[in-house]
A and B are shown apart, each in its own frame.
Chain A
């Protein structure tokens, strides 16, 4: 018998009024046993501190799990631990493994190896074989096996015909095609956002038009095919404007933005720091403002971690040769809570938990007595400094080591398991 008692916790959930007074929550063997005032029982673990908040488990879409193929960067176990430490009980993994998740076998590999994990890892199947952007995959078969959506992940689909056929093909299963809007012919080996900073550094820039053009193309294709499109990792002012118009027209498009692109601009690249080399690139303050406005008015649906583990050898080198990406699972909430104070906790939980589940048709747990606990317990008031040893990922490619954050994950509950931090 495992008994956890959470005292005086603010429950952030549609079932509870946010202004209501804190409640006690009793979890026995992974089941929500009781919710009420002044629960007093003998418990194995008691959480009692000011500021405790509880919501359904958070969900991240588009995590690079690196397993199979790149287990030296991350594997299904470590990504699960990193996700849990970041408050996520569900993650959807990108297909960019080796081999790619481009058939039923790889979908089943992920499922087979994560059955015992506390975090649900849901595969995103590839749109094209090897994510090479040419031949369409067996999406129907992967869907039947459990793939929740289709994407070529960090290899954005360049071929318009392929994108169109993929959107058409998944209609019979009410599927979603995820694409990171990025035109590689315009970006031409660009290393960072094109602007004053790239010019000063003599670095080839990735102009915003490389993203804007693809957003527009994909929206046209979604409209033409009347299919469902999710634009992941958007980063520009114009992308937000185009998505807003598309939504107004009733086109079935949704969008997400990586947390780091809401916090930092390309000005941090002044000293060629490779841990700021990300895709999409860090852009300008006006882009951040547009993205935040997009989140506020519902144009952008949610925030993702864009978790991309890379070993030291891929980052500790000349900027041009370093790979794109940072880990992000454990810093998503702390960054959001520390820097984006304009969002109320209820909105934050909406971005991190409800919206991704709604869009991708993932069951939404309830915080009511008798339900299996799928919960994230966190304290938005606690300050802490991130140390290298706090990082659960195998890879440590983050610029935030040594940074002070406000907001800490205390525990996650899922699949009748729990982890405390």
Chain B
């Protein structure tokens, strides 16, 4: 059977295209499982997984936990604000303590970019990055790309636009790396203060024009304005942001095409997306959530096969 080229999922950058394709194939199989009357399979019966969340999360944590339970893994959860770790125990000590209790795999969300890569140098357990600061959020990118494929087929040559706060977004980074590997064309759109200066070196186009970019793209992946990550003001007010970059139904209806609308959640309704867009037929936001579960099951399943390697 085909297997992943890596024992960790640290970021999309570290995956090969064939890894991504294998994850998609496996996701399709688990999506079928999730539609059965009995949604549980015994694949990870002998595996213990710790979900370490050093940063708040609701949907990603629940999605991972459900995925683990559907695969019959034993699950432990650990949540801590990053500050408590800063005050006392180091990340390495925390993790080593948990691993001493014979945990096989770690799912970790952490506010520091590269934290899972740092960890992978010091421990043996398989690590899945569930978001590391402004670096990567690989499972989100994989579920996004999987959802895009369901809508428009093979992504080679397809036009994908990412809107909003690119500067503070690990989702944007992982999306860009993933879509590049799959041959899609990517454009980012937002206010100049929220777009990294060197982003075009990653092989994406940059636009500050919402309407033009919507006209250009097949799929619009609209990101959440990460107010909690902004220690200084990058735009003057939510009101002005909405005026320039808010996507509403009227705007979408005035385009010459029907754009697929995606959002990684949670939505700031009335900010980056108006409610009538979020709830419209063009939006596949809830399909993304469903695919997220299957994608995470696929990743856990495939990594479990790499245990000890």
**B208 interface hit (Cβ, 8 Å):** no
Our count of residue pairs bridging A and B at CB distance below 8 angstroms stands at 73
Q: Kindly identify which residue among B91, B133, B198 contacts A198, using a CB–CB cutoff of 8 Å.
A: B198
Of residues 291 to 327 in A, which have CB atoms within 8 Å of B's CB atoms?
313, 316-321
- CA separation between A317 and B115, bound complex, in Å? 8
Secondary structure class of chain A's binding surface, majority of residues:
loop
- B191 proximal to A (CB < 8 A): no
Selected interface stretch from A64-72, A199-207, A404-412:
A199-207
Asked, given contacts A202-B134, A203-B135, whether A318 binds B112 with beta carbons under 8 Å apart, the answer is yes
Q: Does B250 contact A (CB under 8 A)?
A: no
The answer to the question of B36 belonging to the interface, with a C-beta cut-off of 8 Å to chain A, is: no
A195 to B201, CA, bound (A): 9
Taking a contact as CB atoms under 8 Å apart, the answer to whether B197 and A207 are in contact is yes
Partner of A199 from B112, B114, B196 at Cβ < 8 Å: B196
A271 within 8 A of B: yes
CA distance A194 to B170 in the complex (A): 17
A272 pairs with B117, CB closer than 8 A:
yes
Q: Which of B114, B135, B173, B202 has the most chain A CB atoms inside 10 A of its CB? A: B114
Give complex CA distance A207, B198 in Å.
11
Contact B201 A202 (CB under 8 A): no
Given A202-B135, A272-B117: A320 and B201 interface contact (C-beta under 8 Å): no
Considering the complex, which residues of chain B in the window 85-126 have a beta carbon less than 8 Å from any beta carbon of chain A? 86, 90-92, 110-115, 117-118, 121
Contact B90 A317 (CB under 8 A): yes
Chain A residues closer than 8 Å to B135, beta-carbon distance: 201-203
Q: How many Å lie between the Cα of A320 and that of B114 in the bound state?
A: 9
Interface hub of B90, B110, B111, B112 (most chain A Cβ within 10 A): B112
Chain B interface residue count: which class?
A: 20 to 34
With an 8 Å Cβ cutoff, the count of chain A residues facing the other chain is 25
Q: Are A199 and B199 in contact (CB under 8 A)?
A: yes
Give Cα A313–Cα B199 distance, bound, in whole angstroms. Answer: 33
Judge if B13 is at the interface, Cβ distance under 8 Å: yes
Q: Is B218 an interface residue (CB 8 A)?
A: no
> Contact between B198 and A202 (Cβ–Cβ < 8 Å)?
no
Asked if B133 contacts A202 (CB within 8 A), the reply is yes
Chain B min CB distance to A272 (Å): 3
Whether B232 sits at the interface, judged by CB under 8 Å, is yes
Residue from B13, B112, B134, B231 within 8 A of A321 (CB atoms): B112
> Complex Cα distance A49/B305, Å?
58
Looking at B196, B199, B231, the one whose CB has the most chain A CB atoms below 10 A away is B196
Find out whether the CB atom of B136 lies under 8 angstroms from the CB atom of A202. Answer: yes
Q: Which residue of A lies closest to B110 (CB)?
A: A318
Complex CA gap A4/B255 in Å reads 88
Q: Of A191, A200, A204, A317, which contacts B118 at CB under 8 A?
A: A317
Complex: A200 Cα to B133 Cα, angstroms: 13
Shortest Cβ gap from A167 to chain B (Å): 30
Q: Which of A195, A196, A272 contacts B114 (CB 8 A)?
A: A272
- A318 and B85 CA atoms in complex are apart in Å by 11
Residue of A nearest to B117 (CB): A272
Interface residues of A in 193-236 (CB under 8 A from B): 194-196, 198-205, 207
Contacts A201-B135, A318-B110 known; list 5 others, CB within 8 Å: A195-B201, A202-B113, A202-B173, A272-B114, A318-B118
A residues engaging B (CB < 8 A)? Answer: 188-189, 191, 194-196, 198-205, 207, 271-272, 274, 313, 316-321
Offer 19 A-B interface pairs, CB within 8 angstroms, sorted by A.
A194-B197, A195-B198, A195-B201, A196-B202, A199-B201, A200-B13, A202-B132, A202-B170, A203-B113, A204-B134, A205-B197, A207-B197, A271-B121, A272-B114, A272-B118, A316-B90, A317-B91, A317-B92, A320-B112
Which 3 A-B pairs have CB atoms at the shortest separation, nearest pair first? A272-B114, A202-B135, A318-B112
